[in-house]
Amino acid sequence: MEEKSYKEYLEHITTFIFDVDGVLTDGFVNVTSDGELLRKMHVRDGYALKYAINAGYNIAIISAGTNEGVKIRLEGLGIPHVYLGSTNKVDTFKQYIKETNIKPENILYMGDDIPDRQVMTMVGLPTCPQDAVPEIKSVSKYISHRKGGEGAVRDVLEQVLKVQNNWMV
């Protein structure tokens, strides 16, 4: 049986779930002299997230990180489901789909490293940035041409919204 092209999954996506470090950020952490961890996020990813929310898509974040600045940024974009400090992403994922009654086959998940792998096998469209680890690339139906923190999130959001005629309408 022939494998579907990732583009065939785009028309059924209603929900996006993203990891933070390595997906919304470049995966690097700057450490200040007082121990604060600083990350950078691409403003174009932020614009696309806000645009997708305003177009009626569901957006969630599942991350093991606990940075308060990240939480403020994501909530400021209007993301209603921000799960930080998730030590078991599968449990968090199951909780999210139960609370929202969203079908896994309608979810695009973007992760970049081993903690994302199991959840990625449970969704309709597992994706990753270009610089994800090989174990994640092997389960992804789409690998962005962009790196984490450098527009990979914008890439997948824009593709889905364009296929569904919801981009720049």
- Give the residue numbers of the binding site for Mg(2+): 19, 112
> Which residues make up each annotated binding site for substrate?
21
* Burial status of residue 54 (CB atoms within 10 A of its CB: 0-12, 13-18, 19 or more): exposed
| Residue whose pair of structure tokens reads 């919801």 in the numeric block | 166
- Angle at which helices 43-54 and 152-163 cross, to 10°: 30
Residue 114: Cβ-neighbour burial (10 angstroms; 0-12, 13-18, 19+): exposed
Task: Give dist(CA 80, CA 60) in Å, integer.
Answer: 7
Output the known binding site.
19, 21, 112
